[in-house]
Amino acid sequence: QELEAAERTNDAQRKEIEVLKRNQEKSCSEVEELNKQSQKCRDEVSQLNEKVLQQGEVASPHQAQNENCIAIQLLTQRLEEVGQWEELQGEHIQKLELELKHMNQECQSLRLSQSQLRDTLEESQDQL
């Protein structure tokens, strides 16, 4: 009886070992499949990184062109502002020149008046 019990136990353990071996083989197979999928994912990531770098190289000239356009717009705007400022300064200078001309005329007129007043004063003194 003990021998039969030992054989049954032995058979049960062999069956259990076979099940464990199959499970181990299955697990190894799953690990291999996961490793393959993992490598596939790494390859895809690598390819995507290369594409991103290529897109960056393509985008970089576009970005530079956009920045250049913005710089040109800002410079054009600044030139327009400077042009408007110069125009205003020109108008201001013309007003000042006209005002100076009027003041010179007034000054000349005052000199004439002063000269006439002197003459009149001298005549009046002569008469006295």
Rounded CA-CA distance 59/11 in Å is 70
pLDDT computed for residue 59 by the predictor: 67
Is 70 exceeded by the pLDDT of residue 77? Answer: yes
Stretch 69-84: mean pLDDT:
91
- Which pLDDT score is estimated for 66? 86
Torsion of CA 74, 77, 82, 88, to 10 degrees: -160
Q: Residue 88 half-sphere exposure, CB side, CA atoms within 13 Å?
A: 6
Least confident residue range of 4-8, 39-43, 115-119, 123-127: 115-119
